[in-house]
Amino acid sequence: MSGVLIVGAGFAGLAAAQTLRRAGMSPVILLEAGSHVGGRARTLRLDRGLALEMGATWIHGLELGGGEGPNPVLRAAQRAQLLGARPRLSVWEDSHFLVQGASGLLTQEQAACIMHSIAAFEEGLDAAGGAEEGATLGDVLQAAWDKLSSGQKVAQHADLARRVWAWRESLQRAIDGTDCSGDLSATAAARYAAAVQNTNAPIPGGFQAVAEAMAEGLDVRLHRRVTGLDWGAEGGACATCEDGSRHAAAAAIVTVSLGVLKAQHETLFQPGLPARTRKAMAQLRMGTVDKLFLEFYDAEDSALDREDGAAPAAAPDLGNGADVVTYALLWDPASTASADSALPDWARGVFSIGFGGAEVKQGAQEPGASPRPVGVVWLAGEAARAVEAASDEEVLGTLRAVFRAFPGAVLPAGASWRRVRLHRSAWGSDPLFRGSYSYPGPSAAADAGAVLGEALTPPGVARPTLVLAGEACAVEYFGTTHGAMRSGEAAAAKLLSSL
């Protein structure tokens, strides 16, 4: 047998295929279980040029640390003419902080408390790099909170400080994909922050377009869900697909998500994965982060819904597509969702509601037409998994109730709850992914990702026939598309040196 099988046509699989093809390897076959390339980079394309980033949204870090050069996703986007030489970076817009049940403006003292609380949180993040071995990000942040709450800067507004801290931690969990900050290794969090360097660039045409450009000229076979991979034969590897088809090659690169690996590795691989690989896999975690999009169509006078927070006189005008409005929701930590029968438990996981951000792509409009207002809500961890089980009607009803709980939040001009469509991701319950992105757990060794991506040689065989790849195999760049690309390139190089 000759050539290489690649399971999965996300960024890791596509990068591996490109690397093999440039080296002259043939054949290189990508078996993709889904209906599109890109994996968790999924752009939902709607009518009138509207597109929504259901998954990956930003290139994280234009330059990689350690002199590694430009981000490989940036290079791929520029080669495809999806980005120019100087990409426009996302600027995190200042949020409008809203207190549950309050409609008035914040006082100067309250605003100062918010600033002090956020600054203390950021100091806690910065301290993660000096944490003791085995410490979690939660440990570091708890120490930062203890320092803040025992001082005088927020003494007069302790309740507000707790609300702000809870909001900022919810945001951090959406960034990291964790159920709680105590589930993430502090040193891993520090490595990631240093590598990304806080520069983020969206893709104007949608992130999936980068993957589609990378797939051009490659042998990608969609709707080929691999249910078994025999990698123990002397001749190489043989994959069996759900449709009964079989595909053989000299070796295989498997790029399925960590969530799928954890759930299916015992039945997927024959022989089973080595103990060293399984140990590394167990040290890594798979988080769930979802987005809810509110598409307000055929806009009408939002005065129809004035009782639900739409106040036309104060409503932000997003008609030019340039404004960004984000509401940061400061829930009362002493109350519970059960206190309001209209709110399920997951509602308190809604920490912000934004309009006009990078997650929404507005195409060219006809003369005289305005872009449709679109809101986006991020949810992480337990709240994300809970909302995946809720119906569209339940989700819309809950979000409407959240607006009532925060009277200061108003819909964009012309938007109405009477004309809204819900679009949402469900990465945790999707059997092709079983989560959004990975992160090292508290007990993870620093090289757990690298161990997961080692070339594997079956017993009695003289050369490697299997390599795992994907963002979970990236040591510094876990949870990112460029981490997936680097992992795919490395996996291909490992096989090229032995085939």
Digitized pLDDT (tens) for each residue of the chain, 499 residues in all: 789 999 999 999 999 999 999 999 999 999 999 999 999 999 999 988 899 999 999 999 888 876 778 899 999 999 999 998 888 887 766 789 999 988 888 999 999 999 999 999 999 999 998 998 889 999 999 999 999 999 998 999 999 999 999 999 999 999 998 988 999 999 999 888 877 666 789 999 999 999 999 999 999 999 999 999 999 977 799 999 999 999 999 999 999 999 999 999 999 999 999 999 999 999 999 999 999 999 998 744 444 444 444 444 344 444 334 468 899 999 998 765 445 556 999 999 999 999 988 999 987 666 666 788 999 999 999 999 999 999 999 999 999 999 999 999 999 988 999 999 999 999 999 999 999 999 999 989 999 999 999 999 999 899 999 999 999 999 889 999 999 999 999 999 999 998 8
Q: pTM of this prediction?
A: 0.92
On the CB side of 311, how many CA atoms lie within 13 Å of its CA? Answer: 11
199: closest CA among 111, 88, 44? 88
Q: Are strands 325-330 and 63-64 parallel, antiparallel or unpaired?
A: unpaired
| Nearest residue to 478 via CA among 201, 314, 287 | 287
Predicted local distance difference test score (pLDDT) of residue 364: 64
Q: How far is it, in rounded angstroms, from Cα 136 to Cα 185?
A: 5
Q: From residue 293, how far is each of 159, 174, 391, 451 by CA, in Å?
A: 31, 16, 14, 38
List phi, psi (to 5°) of 268. -80, -40
The span from the CA of 162 to the CA of 107, in Å, is 17
Question: 46 CB contacts (<8 Å, ≥6 apart)?
Answer: 52, 295, 423
DSSP character string of 240-260: EETTS-EEEESEEEE---HHH
Structure letter (DSSP) for residue 39: T
Among 181, 193, 78, CA closest to 139? 181
CB-based contacts of 23: which residues, under 8 Å, 6+ apart? 492, 496
Radius of gyration of the chain (CA): 24
pLDDT of res. 317: 44
Cis check for the bond before 27: say yes or no (omega within 30 of 0): yes
Q: Which residues sit opposite 238 in a β-bridge? A: 230, 248
Give the domains, in start order, of the chain with CATH numbers: 4-40+206-285+439-496 (3.50.50.60), 96-198 (no CATH), 289-424 (no CATH)
Q: Distance (Å, rounded) from C-alpha 24 to C-alpha 34?
A: 27
Give the total residue count for the chain: 499
Q: How far is CA 258 from CA 51, 254, 320, in A?
A: 27, 11, 41
Name the token pair of 438: 């990975």
